[in-house]
Structure 1
Amino acid sequence: MIHPDLMVSNNLIEEFKVCTRLQYSGKLDIRTAKGDRWAFYYRLGRIVWATGGKHPFRRWRRNMAQFCPDIDVEKIQLQPSDAEIDYWDYRLLETLHDRQKVRREQINSIVESTITELLFDLAQSTNFNPITCDRNQDVILETPMSFTSADMSLKYMQDTWKNWSEAGLANFLPDSAPILRRPEQLQQQVSPAVYKNFVVLMNGKYTLRDLAFRMKQGILPVTRSLLPYILKGIIELIEVPDIPLRISEVKKNSATPIKSTPSGPLIACVDDSPQVTQMLEQILAPNGFRFIKIQDPLQALPILIEHKPDLIFLDLVMPVASGYEICAQLRRVSVFTHTPIIILTGSDGLLDRVRAKVVGSTDFISKPVAADKVMGVVRKYITVPASGLNRTNQQATAMG
C-alpha cells in the first residue's frame, strides 16, 4: 500500500524556492532518469509558463475547450518554426492575443491550469524516479502574459498529490486511458444507462483527464469512482498517444493589428483605490494623454510590460504587493530602466521617500492628488501633447 504521506522530492522543492528567492528569470529544466522532462519558465521569480509532460497537445486542446470555447481548436495550425520549440503553446497564445481572439483573463486561466497539471505530474514522477534540475537562461520570455506565485503553486502541488495518494491512486497516471475489458461482467453490476455511458466513454481514446473535462468533474472523484472496476479487471488503464495539431504556415506577424488610441503619451496608474485612478484619468485624459488604470497589484507587472507606458504612477501602500516591491521589479525589466515612476503616498514621510528612492522611484507626490501637482510632475518628465497645451492656453485665455 502507498503511504498517504508520500512527499515531493526535497531537492525539487528547494530548487523552486531558490528560483523564487533569487527572482530568477530563465528556464528551469527538470528531467528524470526515465527521460521524462518538464520546463518551467520564470520571470523575476514567478512562473510564467510551463511545458513538457506526455500529452502537451491534449492538454492544450482541453484548456482551449474549457477557457476559450469560442475558438475552434481544429482550425489552429502550427508554423513549422513554432513546432520546433518547446513553448509552441505559449507562442500560440501570443498570436491569439495579438489577434484579439483571447483575453488576458482567459490566458491567466490557461497558464494556471497548465502549471497545475504539470506540477502534479512532476510530483508523481519524482516520488518514483531520481531527478536532475538545471537552470538555463538561454530562453527568457520577455513579455509574459501572466505571473503565477511559485510558492502557492508548490503548496497546491503537495496538497493535490497527497489527496491523490491517500485515495489509493498513487500508481495511476492521469494521462492513461480507461478501456472496458469485461463488458458482460460490468453489465451485471450497473444499470443500463450507466453501462451505455461506460461503453461510449471507456473506449481507450480518452484519458482520465479528458474524461474529467467531458464529465465536468474533478479528476480525483472521476478516477476514484473507476477504482473498483479497475481493481476487478473490468476496466484497464492503458497508455495512449498524444494528438498533435496540424503543421501549416500560420504566421504570427500576419495578426490583425490592435487599434490604438491616436492620442499622446501613455500614462499608467497602479493603485487599489478606484477613486484615485478615476481622478487621475479625469485630470490626464482632457490633456491629451492615454491612460491605463490597474487596481490589482498582482497583475500590474504583466499589464505594464504589455503596454509599456511612458510614465507610471504607483501607490505605495497596497495589499499583497507593495509599491516598493513593484517598483523594484519594474527596474529589473530593461524596458523600464528609464521610465519615470512617480510614487503616490498619503504619509509623505522622509523614510518613505528614502526607501522609494532606493528601489528606483523617480519622484513623489502626496495624496490627495490635485490637478496642479499631477500636471506639474508629468510636465517635468514627459512632453505634454499639443492638444493638452492648447487646452491649457485656452483655459488661461478664458480666465484672463
Structure 2
Amino acid sequence: MQGTLNEIDIRSILQLIELGQRTGELLVEAYSNHSHYGSVDYTITDSHRQAQSQSTGLFWLVFFLNGQIAYAAQSDGDLSRLRDYLHPYKANAALDHLECPSIASTNAPEYGYLWVLLEKHVLTPAQGRSILQSMVNETLFDLLSLHHGHFVFEISPALAPQLTTLEIAPLVTKIMKQVQEWKQLSPHIQSSHQCPMIADRPQLKASLPANAFKSLDRWADGKTSLRQMARYLNRDLITVARAIYPYLQKGWIQLLLPKTQNSSAIPWKWELKTAKRAPRIVCVDDNVAVGKTVEQLLQAKGYEITAIQDPLEALKLIFLLQPDLILCDLAMPKLNGYELCGMLRQSTAFRQTPIIVLTGKDAFIDRVRARMVGSTDYLTKPFGASELLLLVEKHLDLRELEIAHHQSSTTNGLKQELEETDITKSASL
C-alpha cells in the first residue's frame, strides 16, 4: 500500500492497518518543497522558505503488530529524543556509557538503546512502556497534523523484541482532539520547536504557585523548546502549551526560535546537523563476508559504518540512519541493487547521496543500468582496501563541497534579497 496524503489522510491509513490487523512498517515522507506541513510544527516563515525547500525532508516510521502500534520513530536518527525522555528518571547520562547494541542494527537505533536500558535495569518495564507510549503519542501528533506527503506501508516481520502494543482507534481519537486544541492556540503558539523565555519575571512569579514558577523558571530559558519541556516534565505537549498560553497573551512569556551556533534560526531539530561527526556509511550486501570486510576497513579509518544483509531491512534503516554514503550490492534476493537504488533516488532525502554499487560483473551493460537508476559510481568485486577507500573518500569530499556550495549560494541569495529590499525601501521614501 502506497500513495500520497492528497489521496488518503493519515487517520484513514491507520484505520485500514488496524482493520486488516497488519504487521509491518509505515513510512511517511513529508514533501520538503511545500511552504507548510500541517498546522503544527511545519509552518515556514519567509526567511526560512528558501533553505527548507532544499533540505532533506522529514520522515516518520510507525511499526505495527497485528494492527496495533509497537513503536514510532522520527527521522533524525539520533538519540536526542530518548535522552530527553530519560530526564525525568535521571537516567539520561546512562546513554553515554552504553556501547551500540546489536539490536540497533536490526531495529531503529532509539528502540535498541531503550531495550538495553531495560535489560540493564536502568529503567523499569513500566517506565520503558511509559516512554514508548509518549514517543508514539508525539509521532502521531505530528503525523495527524501532516497534509502533504508520500507514504508506503510494507508488510514485514514484527519489531522484536516487543515491549508493548497500543490500540490505534482510541489513541487516534485522543491525539486528534489534541491537534484541534493546538490549532486554537495560534497565532500565539505556532511551533512545538519554539522556545519559551520569561519576559516579566515579577508578574509571573506573583501569579504562579512557587513550585510552578520554579519549574517554569528552570526551563523557560529561550533555548529549551516546548516539545523538550513536555518531555522533561513528562507531560503532553498540549498540556504544557495550555499552561503557558495565558502568560503569552499577557506578554509575560515570549516564544523564540532556537538558534544554532552561528545564530541563524532553524525551527526543526531534524535539519542537517551542523556539528562535526564521523561520516556515516551504510553497506548493503547479502554476503556476510563482504559486509564484515567493508565494516572492518572503514571502521579502521574512523568512519561510522553499518553493514546490512537484508535489502528490505536496509531500505527501512537507511531512512532512519540517513547515511552520507551508501554501498550497495547489485545481485541480492528479494530486492536487487538496481531496485533499491531506484527507490532511494525517488526520495528527496537521497537524491544527492552518493551510492556506490558493488558488482561481481564488469560488463558495460551493468554499469549503464546502474547509472540509469541513479548510482554515483561502481566498484567491481573482488576489490582491495585502497580501491574502496579511494572511492569513499572521493565521493564524501565531493558531497562536502556540494553542501558548502549550496550553503554559500543560499547565503549570497539572502544577502542579495536583503540589499534589494533596502534599495526598494529607500526609493519609496
Q: TM-score, normalised by structure 1?
A: 0.48
- Rg larger for: 1
Q: TM-score, normalised by structure 2?
A: 0.45
